[in-house]
Amino acid sequence: TSHTFRRVTWKAAIDHRLSQDVMVYGSYSRGYKAGTYNTIPLSAEPANPEIVDAYEVGLKSELFGRRVRLNGALFWSDIKDPQVQTVVGTGFSAASGLINAGSARTRGAELSVTAVATSGLELRGNVTYLDAKYTDFTNAPHYEGGVLGGPSSYPILTGATDIGSEAIFPANFDATSYRLPNAPK
């Protein structure tokens, strides 16, 4: 089979200088990650494209004769069909593949400060708060157990609904409201 993935992406932004040293801005953008086929095992249906609508408002400033830079932002992203890496069972072996969750959301705030203390010494500080969760992921794969010795000493992953503890068949569960992987608070 074949499939062509096409999407238009964009970014719209507006900014306003409150003074020569202080600017506020806002932006809205749409991002896109093409769908893909899982090749091991070969799948007739590709993972859907991932589409992100991102919103941001912020402040950029240089204060005290440009000796202090203070920047801050609030952001929010709605993600449709996020692509999630998973283990795909192929009988007695496993491969890495992609599936789609229904939707996800990230939101948060960032603040950074840079100060020139003396000539040659610059101090920097940053803080970020991130809240990233699935808002719809009812078919999330779930594996329990661990790696066992399989036929011919190949390691295998046991699933919650495995057959004879040798084949890989994950159980599905509702991961709605679970945190996104690799997105610490």
- pLDDT, residue 122, reads 95
Average pLDDT over residues 21-31: 97
Q: Record the tokens describing residue 63, joined without a space.
A: 């204060």
From CA 103, how far away is CA 79, in angstroms rounded? 5
Q: Which residue has the higher pLDDT, 156 or 51?
A: 51
- pLDDT, residue 170, reads 66
pTM above 0.85, yes or no: no
- pLDDT, residue 96, reads 76
- pLDDT, residue 92, reads 58
The residue length of the chain stands at 185
Average pLDDT over residues 159-180: 67
Nearest Cα residue to 79 out of 29, 27, 26: 29
pLDDT band for position 93 (50/70/90)? low
From CA 155, how far away is CA 50, in angstroms rounded? 32
Reduced to 3 states (helix: H, G, I; strand: E, B; else coil), residue 172 is strand
Q: Which residue has tokens 């999630």?
A: 84
The model's pLDDT over 124-161, given as tens digits with 9 standing for 90+, comes to 999 999 999 999 999 888 766 555 444 444 444 444 44
Range with lowest mean pLDDT among 32-46, 54-68, 147-161: 147-161
- Cis peptide bond N-terminal to 184, omega within 30: no
